[in-house]
Structure 1
Amino acid sequence: MPSNFQLKAMNTAHRALLKISFGKLGQAIAGMPSLELTTIGRKSGRPHAVMLTAPIVDGDTYVVVASRGGDSVHPAWFLNVRANPDVVVSVQSGPKVPMTARVATAEERATLWPKVIGVYSGYADYQTKTTREIPLVLLTPKN
């Protein structure tokens, strides 16, 4: 499982790649669009941004995976969206859009999970590394 330091280093490297390439590199990872998700810290109340990929895009809805590389604990961003679903999303370095995050229901996850691992089989590997069920989060524009 990746450490907090490794996860932060990967996020920093991803942002640097986007910046130094003027957005030409890092827009997609493993065929999935990259996005920056900004949440409000459940403890600090401050904004926190993380780079993620969206294995499923359905119109203006993005599905992201709270895998944390198969760690036994949920990623901090997931805990933040459970506490406060109001988020801001920038897809492929595009404009920042206010969105609402919600955890997929059991029925939605049952339908979405095979599609997620069809796009990136690494998520199936992550699931085998942990006893927690890896949540899927749907990001939709605020109405």
Structure 2
Amino acid sequence: MSDESMAVIAAARRDWKTEHLESYLGSGGTQGHIVNVSDIGGHPFTTTLLLRYTGRKSGRTIITPLIYGDIGGEVVIVASKGGADHHPAWYLNVRESQELSFQIATQAFRASWREPEAVERARVWDFMTGVFPPYVSYQASTSREIPLVMMTALEPIERFTA
């Protein structure tokens, strides 16, 4: 997908993402965990989490809402950026971050992470395209391999705040 096409999609979804994040944080996670993304090819009941990490350039704490899946107790997120030709900033930050945490509904955790490879990656990718079918077209629109991040909860922490 061209950066121009991605910019159009990003502009259309920006308000939705901001409102979603504010709702998720403002409610302590009682709202925002399950969203309807059928208008963009997803499912009416799609699970989302909040990912908290440190900006690699700014050093500030950033919270990003993302669709997730659960495979064998590991939480999976997809660095798709709508099929753009470059990785999303959150992924680049995670790759360089010492601290990573996520919140699902009202439960937050400090986490470790890894990227699946080879046969496991193919299995996880297939699972995640079932969670959010547009990932298939996102991958088809770019030459980069869209990264998958698998997180393991290490310990419970306080819920995220704005």
Q: TM-score normalized by structure 2?
A: 0.74
Query: How far apart are residue 22 of structure 1 and its match?
Result: 7.6
Identity of aligned residues (%): 35
- The residue aligned with 2:101 is 88
- The residue aligned with 2:73 is 60
Query: How far apart are residue 130 of structure 1 and its match?
Result: 1.0
Structure 1 residue 99 corresponds to structure 2 residue 111: yes
The one-letter amino acid of 1:107's match is V
Cα distance in 1, alignment partners of residues 27 and 58 from structure 2: 33
The answer for unaligned runs of 5 or more in structure 1 is: none
- The residue aligned with 1:74 is 87
- The residue aligned with 1:12 is 18
Q: Residues 30-45 of structure 1 correspond to what in structure 2 (within 5 A)?
A: 30=43, 31-45=45-59
- The residue aligned with 1:50 is 64
The one-letter amino acid of 1:99's match is A
Cα distance in 2, alignment partners of residues 81 and 90 from structure 1: 15
CA contact (8 A) 2:21 2:64 kept: no
What is the count of residue pairs matched by the alignment? 141
Query: How far apart are residue 70 of structure 1 and its match?
Result: 0.7
CA contact (8 A) 2:74 2:151 kept: yes
Q: Residues 100-115 of structure 1 correspond to what in structure 2 (within 5 A)?
A: 100-115=112-127
Partner of 2:86, secondary structure, is coil
Query: How far apart are residue 86 of structure 1 and its match?
Result: 2.7
Pick the structure with greater CA Rg.
2
Partner of 1:134, secondary structure, is coil
Q: CA RMSD in A?
A: 2.5
Cα distance in 2, alignment partners of residues 88 and 20 from structure 1: 18
Higher deviation after alignment, 25-34 or 133-142: 25-34
The answer for unaligned runs of 5 or more in structure 2 is: 1-5, 36-42, 156-162
CA contact (8 A) 1:85 1:101 kept: no
